[in-house]
Structure formats: structure tokens, C-alpha cells
Amino acid sequence: MKIISYNVNGIRSAISKGFVNFMQEQKADVYCLQETKAMKEQIEEPYVFDVAGYKNNYWFSAEKKGYSGVALFCKNEPDHVEYGFNNPDYDKEGRIIRADFGNKSIISVYIPSGSSGDERQAYKMTWLRFFQDYINELKSKRPNLIICGDYNICHQAIDIHDPVGNKNSSGFLPDERKWLSQFVESGFVDSFRAYNKAPHEYSWWSYRAASRSRNKGWRIDYCMVSESLKNNLKNSGIMQQAMHSDHCPVCVELTS
């Protein structure tokens, strides 16, 4: 099973830059998308996904148009799809969708950013606590989880180009990094770090100051895999050659 997670920063924009061709070339079993910024009915030619082999596509969009949103594109039909948390206070922003395949569950998640100010940073921290409780409960029913998405947090100094200069920046704050540490310790494997311990491996770059060409980036996109699936891990990577967004895709492969 090959899973690719991608914050597309607007799926309509990504389509215009060749995203559908990328999907066909990579032939992932599941694409976990974040920040779609659109509802399916807003796509001018939605049949392109059917042609690409992903007629099983599921969208969970934000109430606010042009904002947030997650989706799953699957080669095979899932046994079940769960939209949101079943909590209206959190679901209005369209940040989580889950597909169950046999005893495995694949989640696309888009964790809020706190970079716009103190109010959103406080919301982010509250959201993270809620998310941890939700995942803890879900694990009791669906223990084999693959949680892919934009976490909007760099975990370690190795995951950011300037850890000193960004020590007070949202996405690299001590409380956020502590949360991500305890999330991993609660029973997950950061699949990329299971295979790659090297520095300068990032998944997001600001559009400013030629950050991408200079590789001044952040690793904020993850494929987290339940410890119960650790022996099923086959490979994981960051696909920096893909240029449809200010993020690049991250991927994980598992044996059945």
C-alpha cells in the first residue's frame, strides 16, 4: 500500500499545475490531501479524477469558502468513510477525514496554523488537545492508524532550517513541539525518520525570498503510523521534486 499526503494549497491551483498527471504517474493507492480550499462541485472538470483512476474520492470541506478542507482519493473503495470529528465546533473548518480498509484506517488531517496571531495560536493548542483525545478513543476501536497530513509543527531542530531564529515562531514553539513528542510517544512512528535521519529535508517553504530554491524550509508534513504497524513499514520519503504547491508531498509504503 502506497499512501501520498499532500497539502495542495488549493486543489484548483494544483490541477492547473499538473497535479492530476502527478497522481497518474505515482499511482498511489491513497492520496491524502489538505488545504483543498474547494468543494467538489467547484471543480470545473471533476471527471479528471475518475479518468486518473480515482473515482473513489471523498471531500470534507470547510464551511467558509476558499479555506482549509481535506480529501481522500482512493484506488479502491473503502469499507467506510468518516467525515470530521462528529463535533460541530471543530468540523466547520473541515480538517479531518478517515477511510477504513480492512483492519487499517487512513486519516487525512490538516492541523490549524497559529501564525496569524495569539487567538489562533490558542485555538491551535486547544485543537491539539481535542485531537489527541479523539485519536486515543479511536485507537481503542481502530488500533491500526495511518495519520497523514499537515501538522503545522516542526518536531525537532533538524526539521527546520533556522531553529534559533524561529524559536518563537508558531510551528516551532516549545508547547507545540512538546505536544508532538507526546503524540508520537502515545503510540506512533514518524515514518520518515524511521528511514532518514539527515538534516535539510523539508516539506514546506515560504513563497518569500526564494526560500524553496535556497532550501530554507520546514518539515511540517508527516505520515504517522501506529506502532502496531511498525513491522509493516516498507519505505517513507519526501517528494521535493513535486512543484504544485508551497508544500511538497510526503509518502509512506506499507506491506499488507
Catalytic residue among 133, 150, 162, 221: 150
pLDDT on residue 46: 83
Spatial contact of 35 and 9, defined as CB atoms under 8 Å apart: yes
pLDDT on residue 87: 96
pLDDT on residue 12: 97
pLDDT on residue 149: 98
Active site residue 190: no
User: Cα(42)–Cα(210) distance, rounded to whole angstroms?
Assistant: 31
pLDDT on residue 245: 98
Parts of the chain with a pLDDT under 50: none
* Angle, helix 174-185 to helix 118-141, in steps of 10 degrees: 0
User: Cα(82)–Cα(60) distance, rounded to whole angstroms?
Assistant: 10
User: Cα(105)–Cα(63) distance, rounded to whole angstroms?
Assistant: 25
pLDDT on residue 114: 96
**pTM of the predicted protein model:** 0.98
Please tell me the number of Cα atoms within 13 Å of 243 on its side-chain side: 4
User: Cα(105)–Cα(53) distance, rounded to whole angstroms?
Assistant: 21
Q: For 2-254, which CATH superfamily applies?
A: Endonuclease/exonuclease/phosphatase (3.60.10.10)
| DSSP bridge pairs for 7 | 34
pLDDT on residue 256: 82
Q: Residue 49: helix, strand or coil by DSSP?
A: helix
Spatial contact of 226 and 145, defined as CB atoms under 8 Å apart: yes
User: Cα(148)–Cα(253) distance, rounded to whole angstroms?
Assistant: 12
